[in-house]
Amino acid sequence: MSTMNTVGRPTTPNAVETKPATLTGARGLLQDEALIFEVGRWDVTGVDLPAPAGDGSDLGDLVRRDPIGLPGLSEPEAMRHYVRLSQKNHAIDLAIYPLGSCTMKHNPRLNEKMARLPGFSDIHPLQPQSTVQGALALMDSLAHWLTTLTGMPAVALSPKAGAHGELCGLMAIRAAHEAKGEHEQRRKVLVPTSAHGTNPATAAFVGYSVVEVAQTDDGRVDVADLAAKLGPDVAAIMVTNPNTCGLFERDILEISRLTHEAGAYFYCDGANFNAIVGRVRPGDLGVDAMHINLHKTFSTPHGGGGPGAGPVVLSEALAPFAPAPWIVADGEGFKLVEREEDEAAQALGRLCAFQGQMGMYVRALSYMMSHGSDGLRQVAEDAVLNANYIKARLQDLMSPAFPDGPCMHEALFDDEWLKGTDITTLDFAKAMIDEGFHPMTMYFPLVVHGAMLIEPTETESKAELDRFIDAMRALATAAKAGDADRFKGAPFHAPLRRLDETRAARQPVLRWTAPEGSNAAA
Ligand SMILES: *Cc1c(COP(=O)(O)O)cnc(C)c1O
């Protein structure tokens, strides 16, 4: 059977399976690559250093007798190793990364240039404060714009990810209840069923018991259920807005009113702030604490899972409990208050060593300043427009989870449209890889059966969206036509085929051991 793929080349669906494996393990010009422990040798190094003067060390008996076992590579070998690995992976500079609830957007090169200015990149956190006034001024400006954009009086910059920001927010909430003598009675945190897993995990980590709040048929918090569960035993609610179904919480003002009436605090998960930045100020919604993922809304790179940055904005009620360090302008310049003293007498302690992710602060501020207030507003508008374009162009073939009305920054489909095809969301996602696209978020939020959550972000052009949509339409049509082989065996063209993900999660192999008799490092 021959069909046309999205770039118009005729393809034979399972051609790759019938071709012989290559003799080297490479595919075309894509190299096969072993682990660094296997390619490296402990006696090789990328730099030539003169032999040390003297004949020993001061360590006496403690001096190491065996090689340290780290793999050594020359500079070109090291470069090739990592470039080969990078080719096996997906990257935002290669194509759209449509993961929902992740906001994988282009990382502007201007941000990188700013972050590499020596005054930001070559400083050390232990330098005297008088020598890093520029860096402190930058942190102060970032704090100013984060509080201005959110309409909140204070921000704690140091948390290093969204989840870490949640921890910061809930610890501030606990500190506030402790200060009022109400901590012992308020042991519950209310979390809607559609919440990101980090919300209940954080609440449990801080020592609260988690109570689920139901969701309405149109994907929002069930306010009646929330009201019934609020009471003198509740410390806080954690609500994501826009929520993980990609929908604005219509009753958000009522939700915050009820919460405050019950003496609880409103933690807002701000991971989706990119959908409303410049248009809605969370402070006006009655939010008490909200993290902002700089690696989502403000375009800093996600990297290999980091470094992230999750500053937390705080209301008047929670601001005194913000963790150290605090940056304070004292007329002479800026100073860091490092402990629970002076201005920060009620600080909840520290969340990390030093001041947080300086390089990410520079990138985020660079993004804000290059856009300006009108540009940031357009960020939100374009992110929402792009998601609605995807929803509109796919909804005749795929089933939107919440068909009524527009979505915010992400389009959510369920697997209703795959009924009777024997193809699952997972199969469909694997086939997307063969077509050159990273899959969308799958099976999240949990409240939607076989969920497919697609977030394009504002940095995708219409041409790129069309490329993605055309591929999705071609795949959806093939699925409905009963071409199950294309999906069940996918991916056919990726460096590795279908993996045993359950086993990988249950029995992870985290330690490499050298094969017997090998001369590999270690
Ligand atoms: C990404 C995300 C988080 C967690 O943020 P990290 O920076 O990955 O720790 C929490 N909630 C929601 C809704 C998210 O999308």
Of 219, 272, 310, which Cα lies nearest the Cα of 100?
A: 272
pTM metric for this prediction = 0.90
The whole-angstrom separation of Cα 467 and Cα 7 is 9
Q: Cα-Cα-Cα-Cα dihedral of 254, 258, 259, 262, to 10°? A: 170
Residues with CB under 6 A from ligand 1: 101-102, 161-163, 196, 198, 240, 244, 269, 271, 293, 308, 310
Backbone φ, ψ for residue 23 (5° rounding): -80, -25
**What tokens appear for 390 in the block?**
């995807």
Ligand 1 nearest atom to the CA of residue 161, by list position: 7
Does an H or E element contain 4, and which? Answer: strand 3-4
Count of positions (residues) in the chain? 522
CA-proximal residue: ligand 1, atom 11 (nearest): 196
How far does CA 473 lie from the centroid of its chain?
27
DSSP assignment of 21-57: PPSSS-BTTBPP---HHHH--TT--SS--PPPSSS--
Per-position pLDDT tens, the chain of length 522: 334 444 444 444 444 455 678 898 888 888 889 999 888 887 888 888 888 777 667 888 888 888 777 889 999 999 999 999 988 889 999 999 999 999 999 999 999 999 999 999 999 999 999 999 999 999 999 999 999 999 999 999 999 999 999 999 999 999 999 999 999 999 999 999 999 999 999 999 999 999 999 999 999 999 999 999 999 999 999 999 999 999 999 999 999 999 999 999 999 999 999 999 999 999 999 999 999 999 999 999 986 555 889 999 999 999 999 999 999 998 889 999 999 988 899 999 999 999 999 999 999 999 999 999 999 999 999 999 999 999 999 999 999 999 999 999 999 999 999 999 999 999 999 999 999 999 999 999 999 999 999 999 999 999 999 999 999 999 999 999 999 999 999 999 998 899 998 999 999 998 888 777 665 544
- Distance, in Å, from the CA atom of 201 to the CA atom of 388, rounded to the nearest integer, reads 31
- Report the distance separating Cα 183 and Cα 174, nearest Å: 7
Q: Is 481 helix (H, G, I), strand (E, B) or coil?
A: coil
How much distance in Å is there from the Cα of 148 to the middle of ligand 1?
22
Q: By alpha-carbon position, which residue is closest to atom 1 of ligand 1?
A: 102
Q: How far is the CA of 149 from the centre of ligand 1 (A)?
A: 19
Atom of ligand 1 nearest to the CA of 308: 7
> CA-CA distances (angstroms) from residue 419 to 103, 398, 485?
29, 11, 16
